A and B are shown apart, each in its own frame.
Chain A
């Protein structure tokens, strides 16, 4: 049929039954007199069949009972326990994509006071302070020695600060375009995951959560949940790739 050429995508969609009727009729017509079209359709059908069989075998795998029990327990725990475990509460879950940075430090500080009361001492407070935890404002970042790592280290790199070893996890921009870093600080007692954003020539810590000790493995789901919700709340973009990060880090004052 003159002029009736079909892309692989169209022929695949035909084989998968995902094509609209009109186009499908034209494909049928073409396949009747064009060997190439017919064999291409056969190829997509045969791969689908092979994959179906593989998928079916895989579906026979039982789900571990322990996992089902965990999921059921999660569902039964209503409402979901957002501040469970060792997440530093941060005053509610932002719903819209606007930064509420102004509200965070006070909430963080309030819960840190609690953390001090509960735990073995929260050494993220720089030495020489009068024991009170101040807001994680730019002055604090400066005193803690975090300015350099936040401004210069690439994701994946580590450095030493007044409060512990810091490892940069990722870079991204929030909804307002501010350059932000997710990082971990391993103090002697604990590891914290934190987010700091750059604005007005300085850095401000906007989020912090305890991720447990320095045990190998993953941060508890609850702290990652809190982080995830926080990132969603500030409209965090996808992590910058290495090139974009390097560009952001090289900006004056960045």
Chain B
């Protein structure tokens, strides 16, 4: 029954959820974001060009859904600024116990980076998007993706003592 698009969407759910968690850092909100993304993807599937990779398209929908959501939250004055909360906060105990110290160090170091750098690192190094695909998701030029990514990784190397 399911067609290619639907299969792709289902297969993208784990990646979408990781991306959502990286943005909102709360499991319940991340699940809602993925669900909203699925709904919008199904409703807007005619806007998707099958010749292109589906994940950047889905990531962009999710990111826009997140922006919509935060606009309302900020307006309500009840939520913290999306860019001020450390990414490390998303990792709960069950995960932390599995992660080695080195991994937690990496996560902690990532959390100290500016949000714009963290976001490109997330898309390129975690979700393995190309520079061009990340640019498409973030709606910024590819050159900007590359400079943010390079700066972020240089800073990360410094924090982790990799640049000897």
A interface, CB within 8 angstroms of B:
7-9, 12-13, 16, 18, 39, 43-44, 46-48, 50-55, 57-61, 63-64, 66-68, 70-72, 74-75, 77-78, 80, 82, 155-156, 167-170, 184, 216, 218-219, 221-222, 224-225, 227-229, 239
Contacts and interface: CB of A to CB of B under 8 A. Distances in A.
Interface in B80-103: 95, 98-100, 102-103
Contacts of B162: 43, 46-47, 50
Nearest to A183: B75
Given A9-B147, A60-B98, A54 B163 contact: no
Which of A8, A13, A66 has most chain B Cβ within 10 Å?
A8
A57 B10 CA distance: 21
> Which 7 residue pairs across A and B have the least CB separation, nearest first?
A51-B125, A47-B153, A8-B150, A9-B146, A55-B126, A80-B43, A71-B38
Given A13-B131, A63-B14, A75-B2, A168 B154 contact: no
B13 A68 contact: yes
A196 to B, nearest CB: 16
Given A58-B18, A61-B95, A169 B71 contact: yes
A156 B13 contact: no
B40 A71 contact: no
A171 B147 CA distance: 31
A199 to B, nearest CB: 23
Contacts of B125: 47-48, 51-52, 55
B106 A8 contact: no
B95 to A, nearest CB: 6
B153 A229 contact: no
B39 interface: yes
A82 B43 contact: yes
A64 B157 CA distance: 33
A91 B107 CA distance: 47
B36 to A, nearest CB: 5
A225 B43 contact: yes
Nearest to B164: A39
Contact of B106 (A54, A67, A78, A167): A54
Contacts, number: 150
A50 B160 contact: yes
Given A156-B75, A218-B32, A221-B32, A51 B121 contact: yes
A156 B74 contact: yes
B14 A12 contact: no
A155 B74 CA distance: 10
B34 interface: yes
Contacts of A61: 18, 95
A75 B38 contact: yes
A46 B2 CA distance: 41
A228 B71 CA distance: 13
13 contacts: A7-B150, A9-B143, A16-B124, A43-B154, A50-B102, A51-B126, A54-B103, A54-B107, A57-B99, A75-B42, A80-B42, A80-B43, A228-B65
B40 A44 contact: no
Interface in B114-164: 121, 124-127, 130-131, 143, 146-147, 149-151, 153-154, 156-157, 160, 162-163
Given A67-B13, A224-B36, 7 more contacts: A7-B150, A8-B154, A13-B146, A43-B162, A44-B150, A54-B107, A55-B125
A39 B163 CA distance: 8
Interface in B1-31: 2, 6, 9-10, 13-14, 17-18, 27, 31
B77 interface: yes
A57 B99 CA distance: 7
